[in-house]
Amino acid sequence: MVTSAEKKLVKGVTDLVIAAKDGTIAAGNFVGEVGLSDYHDLSSSVPQEVQDKVTAITAKIVSGELATGVKP
């Protein structure tokens, strides 16, 4: 395993609190952001080429260029 997926709770909670404050919060499910964990102490164990590929794939998913087949 190269990295782990994680929920970006700080951003999601911040967005919800701001929407509640502004009166723009919508009923229903809230789909926030997700991302990958940092490599931390294992950074030197993961070749830079692999780290670069993970970064490139992540950017393509975020931009919509690469579809995962999973609906938000």
66 DSSP assignment:
S
The alpha helices in 5-47, defined as continuous H runs, are 9-22
d(CA 16, CA 5): 21
- Which residues, in sequence order, are bridge partners of residue 34? 7
Per-domain residue ranges for the chain?
Answer: 5-63
pLDDT along the chain (72 residues), means of 10: 74 89 88 81 91 93 88 70
pLDDT score for 55: 92
For the entire predicted model, the pTM comes to: 0.61
Q: What is the pLDDT of residue 72?
A: 64
- Cα 16 to Cα 28, 33, 35: the distances in Å are 12, 12, 18
3-state secondary structure of 24: coil
